[in-house]
Amino acid sequence: METKIYVGVDLHKTQFTTCTLIDDEVLEQGTEYPTNKDGYRAFIEATRLLADTYGRSVSLAIESTANSRFFRDTMERNGFDVTVVNTLRFKVINLSTSKTDKNDARTLAEFLSRDILPESHLCSAESEGLRRVLKTRSLMVEDSVALKNQAHAVLLAYGTVTKVAQFQSGKERNRILNSLPDNIAMVIRPIFETIEVVESQRKVLETRLRQITANDSQVKLLLTIPGIGIVNACTIRAYIDDIDRFQDYKHFSAYCGLVPWVQASNDTIHYGRITKRGPQELRTALVQCVVAMVRMEDKTSDFILMRQYQKLKEEKSSGKAIIATARKLSRIIYKMLKTKKPFCSGRMIREVKS
C-alpha cells in the first residue's frame, strides 16, 4: 500500500478538528478550523504544504454527518482522497473512554492508515435531492395529521364527535364548518384554513416529484408494481440510489432492515425480530406497498405473493405477514432493477398455477 499522509477529521456543524499522521508519527493533533470558507481554505493550504514537504499524497477520513457530503466534495475538488466512515459499523469512537475531538480525529487517522475503516456510501446528488423533497413532504403530512387531530379534539370538547376520515377532503371540511355554531366555527376555521394551505403545498411537492422523475428509468419500473404510487416509488428510488452496489438480493433486504437478527454460537442458532437497520423511509415504503397490495384484492389476489401473505397471516399474524411479504417484495424489486424489466402480473399468476 502506498505510504500517504493520513488525516483524521472530527467534523461538526461549526468547526472540525484534525490529526495528521505520517509513518505512524503524529505531525499535529487538535488543530481546529471553522466550517466556513476561511476554515476550509486554511486547512487545504496547510495540508497541501505538508504534501509538498513530504512528497506524498493525502488521504482524509471523516465520520458520516449531515455536512460530510459538502466536506468530501470540497476536499476531493482540491485533490485529496476522502473516506466517509460508516458510524454504525465503526464503534471505536463511541466506546472510547476518553472521547474528545482531538482523540476522535486521531482514532480516525490511525485506522485510516491501516486501511480498516468501514466506508459509508454517500448517494448521488440526484438521490439526495429526491430525499430532501420527500422529507419536506413527510413533514407536511405530519403537520396535516396534527392539525386534524387538533380539530377533532376541539370539536369533542364542544360535544361533537367526528370520524377520522371526515377531515380528509376540503369539501367535507367546509360542510362541517358551515354546520357549526359561530363560537365553535371561530375556533375551527383557522385550523381548517391551515390544513388547506399544508395540503395544497403537499400536492405541489408531489407534482414536483413527478416532474423530476419523469425520465427516471428506475421510478418507471417501480410504478409498474400494483400498489406503488409516485411517493413510494420515489422513496424506494432515492434510498436505493444504485442497485449495483448490492451484491445480491439478500444484501439489499438486509439494507432495508427486513431480515431477522441472527445469533449463532456452536450448534445453537437464534433468530430474532427484524434488524430495522438501514433507512426507515425505505422500509416504511415497502410495508406501505404491501398494505396497498392487500387492499387491491381484485387485482392482486391471484399473485403468489398475496397467497403467501394470506397463509402467513393465518399461521402467525397480519403484522408479521406484512413484514415477511415486504421482504419478499424487496427481492422482486431487486431483480426488476437489476434486469431492468417491469413487474409482470402474468408471471406472478402463472407461478401460482404451476
- Give the CA distances from residue 140 to residues 146, 174, 177, 229, in Å, rounded to whole numbers and listed in that order: 10, 21, 22, 18
- Give the CA distances from residue 298 to residues 234, 301, 333, 343, 350, in Å, rounded to whole numbers and listed in that order: 25, 6, 22, 17, 17
Indicate the fold that domain 5-113 takes in CATH. Nucleotidyltransferase; domain 5 (3.30.420)
Q: What is the mean pLDDT of residues 202-222?
A: 95
All three cell numbers of 201: 403545498
Interatomic CA distance for residues 170 and 278, integer angstroms = 37
Confidence (pLDDT) at 187: 94
Confidence (pLDDT) at 208: 95
Question: Reduced to 3 states, what is the DSSP secondary structure of residue 275?
Answer: coil
Q: Is the pLDDT of residue 80 over 50?
A: yes
What residue has cell string 431477522? 260
Q: What is the mean pLDDT of residues 114-130?
A: 90
Interatomic CA distance for residues 64 and 102, integer angstroms = 17
Write the single-letter amino acid at 166. Q
For the chain, what is the mean pLDDT? 90
Higher pLDDT, residue 174 or 268? 174
Q: Are 218 and 339 in contact (CB under 8 A)?
A: no
Domain segments of the chain as ranges: 5-113, 126-212, 218-353
Question: Reduced to 3 states, what is the DSSP secondary structure of residue 273?
Answer: strand
All three cell numbers of 306: 398475496
- Tell which residue, 253, 343, 252, 248, has the closest CA to residue 303: 343
**Kind and range of the H or E run holding 304:** helix 304-315
Q: What is the radius of gyration, based on Cα positions, of the chain?
A: 26
Strand pairing class (15-22; 260-265): unpaired
